[in-house]
Structure 1
Amino acid sequence: MYTDYHNHLEKGTLTLDYLSQFVEEAKRKNVNHFGISEHAYHFYETENILSNPWVNQRRWYNMGEYVDLFKQAEKHGMDVKMSIEMDYTPGKHAEMRDFISNYKFDYVIGSIHWVEDFGIDLAEYRHLWDERDTLTVYRKYFDQVVTLAESNLFDIVGHLDLVKIFKYKPDNRDFLLEQYDRATNALSNSKTCVEISTAGLRKPVGELYPDPDLLKMCYEKDIPIVLSSDAHVPRDVGADYDKAVDLAKSVGYSKLMTFEQGERKSIPL
C-alpha cells in the first residue's frame, strides 16, 4: 500500500474527467492513498499571502470550483483526498492559518519555492543561480524550512531539499549537514511529515528528494514520511516508487503516514 499525496491538475482542467485519469493511474500503480494538492497561488483567495509578477500571471481558479470538484468526485465514488500545496511565506502565518482553516482539507502541504524574490526552482530564474552565492541561498532556504516547521501549519513539507533542483550544491558538506540538522530538529518538534518525492528524478538534479543523509536524520529523529510523485500529468502518478521505497527502507523506515480529514494513521511500508 502506497501514498501519493502531492499531485497537480494545473496542466489540464478542474474537471471530473481529468481528475479520473489521475485516480485510475493511482489504482493501476497500487497507490491506495491518493490526493490532489493544487498550488495555492493559482487561487484568487491567496492573493493576500503570496503576490509577485510570476504568480499573479498564474492566478486562475477560485476555491469554490476546487471544493466542488471533490464533492463531485465523492458522489462518483472516487477515493481522492483534497489538499493544497502552499508556498510557505514568511510573515504571513496568520493569513496562511486563516486560509487553511476555511476549507476541509484532508491534509496540507507546505513547500518553499521562493527565497525572497528568487524562484529557486523556476526555469525562468535558473540563470540567476550564477549571480548568487550558493551558501547564502541554501542558508536562507533552510531558514524557511525551520520556520515552516515551527509554524506547525502543515501536515507535510514538500520536496524538503528542492533547493538542489538545478544541481547547484555547496562544496562544503559540513555546511550542508548543519542545514540538515537544524531543519530536522525543527521538524521533529512539529506535526510535519516529510515526503520522499520522486519528482527530483525527472528534474536536472536527477535525484530523489530528500538526500539520503537528510532522510537518515529524519528517521533518527522519528519524523514520519509519506511517498509522493509530484505528478503534473497522470502518467507520473506513483512514478519510480521502487526507488523511493528502497531509499526509505535503506535508512530504516517501515511505515508511512496517511491522512483523512486532518486525521493521521500509519500503515506498513
Structure 2
Amino acid sequence: MKLTCYETHIHTPMCGHARGSLGDYAEVARRRNLKGIYVTDHCPMPESYEHQGRIARDRLSEYVEMVVQAGRDWAGRVDVVLGIESDWLPGMEPWLERLHRQADFQYVLGSIHCHLPDYRRLYLTDNALAFQMQYFTHLAQAAETGLFDALAHPDLVKDIHPDQWQVSRLLTHLKTCLDRIASTGVAMELNTGAEKKALAEWRPGVEILKLMNERGIPVVIGSDAHEPEQVAKHLPSALNMLKEIGFATTSYYRGRRRLDVPIADAIASLKQQAVASESMPLRSGPHPEQDRSG
C-alpha cells in the first residue's frame, strides 16, 4: 500500500518550547508509516509584539536551512517539508506578506493565538460570549486575507473561558463565520494536540467539525507536535472520526496547493495500531495542567 499520510503540524526547539531534532521527528514518522512531516514553527513577529515562543526575527534563514537540510538527509525515506505557522492579528498583512516571500514555504498555517498577551491586551473582556464571537470573526477575516492555506486549532478560544464554552450559544454567528471561511477555499485543521489544554478535546470539537463538513470546508490533521513522540499520535483515531462525521478526504499542501487524499486510503496506508489507548475524549472537564504555548 502506497504511503499517503503526513503529519502537518510540528515545531522545533527554535520556538523555545519544543524539543527534539528534526531527525527525531522524522524517525517517529517513519515508524508510524507516514509519508512525511510538515515543519511549521511559530513565525517571527514585528518588534512591538511578544517574541517568546517563536522563531527570532534574525534566525528565520537558519530555520529554513535546518528544514531544507533535514529534507536532504531524509530524502527517499520521509518527506521533510518546509512550512510555517503564522500568527494573524488585524493589520499584520504587510508583515506576513513579506515574511512569506522570504522562503519557499510549501504550507502556511494561519493561527490566532487568543491566549497570548498581544491578543488578550487588545480583545479580552469579561464577556466570554463576546470574546468568543470576536475570535471567530477574526478567524473568518484571516481566511479572507488569502495569506493562509489552513487555519490551525480553529476553536482555540474555548480554552480562555472553558466553563462558559457552549457551541450552541454562538451557533448563528459561528455558522456565518464558517460560511465566510468556506467561500475562501481555505482549509481548517483538526488539531489533536490537546492533552494539556483547558478542555481535553480536539480542536475543533465534533460540533464544529460537522458544520465544516456541511459546508465543504477542507480538513487537515495535525498533532501540533512539540516533541517527537507526539507525531501523528492520534492520527488513526482522527481519520476514523472524520469518516464517521462524513468527511471523504483529508488534505495536505505542496507548493501552497491543496492535495486531497481519500480518508479510506489514508486509513489503509497506516500500519495497524492499537489506537484505543490513544483515543482522546470528545469532551471532558478542565485539564489540571494547562499548556499556554499554543
State the TM-score, normalizing by the size of structure 2. 0.77
Indicate if the aligned counterparts of 1:2 and 1:227 stay in contact, CA closer than 8 A. Answer: no
SS, match of residue 189 in structure 1: helix
Q: Please state how far the C-alpha of 1:119 moved relative to its aligned partner.
A: 5.3
Indicate if the aligned counterparts of 1:156 and 1:195 stay in contact, CA closer than 8 A. Answer: yes
Indicate if the aligned counterparts of 1:134 and 1:169 stay in contact, CA closer than 8 A. Answer: no
In the alignment, structure 1 residue 64 sits paired with structure 2 residue 67:
no
Indicate if the aligned counterparts of 1:197 and 1:209 stay in contact, CA closer than 8 A. Answer: yes
Q: Please state how far the C-alpha of 1:173 moved relative to its aligned partner.
A: 4.5
In the alignment, structure 1 residue 31 sits paired with structure 2 residue 28:
no
Other-structure match for 1:18: 21
Residues 4 and 58 of structure 1: is their aligned pair in 2 closer, same or farther, counting only changes over 3 Å? Answer: closer
Q: Please state how far the C-alpha of 1:202 moved relative to its aligned partner.
A: 3.9
Q: Please state how far the C-alpha of 1:178 moved relative to its aligned partner.
A: 2.1
Residues 239 and 102 of structure 1: is their aligned pair in 2 closer, same or farther, counting only changes over 3 Å? Answer: same
2:71 partner amino acid? E
Q: Please state how far the C-alpha of 1:169 moved relative to its aligned partner.
A: 5.0
Indicate if the aligned counterparts of 1:2 and 1:32 stay in contact, CA closer than 8 A. Answer: yes
Residues 62 and 172 of structure 1: is their aligned pair in 2 closer, same or farther, counting only changes over 3 Å? Answer: closer
SS, match of residue 227 in structure 1: strand
1:73 partner amino acid? A
Other-structure match for 1:109: 109
Indicate if the aligned counterparts of 2:86 and 2:111 stay in contact, CA closer than 8 A. Answer: yes
Residues 219 and 132 of structure 1: is their aligned pair in 2 closer, same or farther, counting only changes over 3 Å? Answer: same
In the alignment, structure 1 residue 263 sits paired with structure 2 residue 253:
no
- d(CA) in 2 for partners of 1:89, 1:254: 32
Q: Please state how far the C-alpha of 1:197 moved relative to its aligned partner.
A: 1.0
Other-structure match for 2:51: 55
- d(CA) in 2 for partners of 1:80, 1:106: 11
- d(CA) in 2 for partners of 1:59, 1:262: 21
Residues 138 and 169 of structure 1: is their aligned pair in 2 closer, same or farther, counting only changes over 3 Å? Answer: farther
Q: Please state how far the C-alpha of 1:71 moved relative to its aligned partner.
A: 2.5
Residues 117 and 18 of structure 1: is their aligned pair in 2 closer, same or farther, counting only changes over 3 Å? Answer: closer
SS, match of residue 256 in structure 1: strand
Indicate if the aligned counterparts of 1:37 and 1:85 stay in contact, CA closer than 8 A. Answer: yes
SS, match of residue 194 in structure 2: helix
Other-structure match for 2:216: 222
Residue by residue, what CA displacement relative to the aligned partner does 1:209-242 show, whole Å, maximum 9, x if unpaired?
A: 1121111111111111111000000011111223
- CA RMSD in angstroms comes to 2.7
SS, match of residue 189 in structure 2: strand
Other-structure match for 1:253: 247
SS, match of residue 79 in structure 2: coil
Q: Please state how far the C-alpha of 1:28 moved relative to its aligned partner.
A: 1.5
- d(CA) in 1 for partners of 2:235, 2:116: 33
- d(CA) in 2 for partners of 1:115, 1:158: 14
Which structure 2 residues correspond to residues 145-156 of structure 1 after superposition, within 5 A?
A: 145-156=139-150
Indicate if the aligned counterparts of 2:144 and 2:181 stay in contact, CA closer than 8 A. Answer: yes
Residue by residue, what CA displacement relative to the aligned partner does 1:17-59 show, whole Å, maximum 9, x if unpaired?
A: 8111001111212222411100003xxxx326xx33x425865
Q: Which moved more, 1:214-223 or 1:60-69?
A: 60-69
Q: Which moved more, 1:251-260 or 1:152-161?
A: 251-260
Gaps of 5+ in 1: none
Residues 107 and 179 of structure 1: is their aligned pair in 2 closer, same or farther, counting only changes over 3 Å? Answer: same
Other-structure match for 2:9: 6
SS, match of residue 108 in structure 1: strand
- d(CA) in 2 for partners of 1:74, 1:33: 10
State the TM-score, normalizing by the size of structure 1. 0.83
Q: Please state how far the C-alpha of 1:12 moved relative to its aligned partner.
A: 8.2
Gaps of 5+ in 2: 264-294
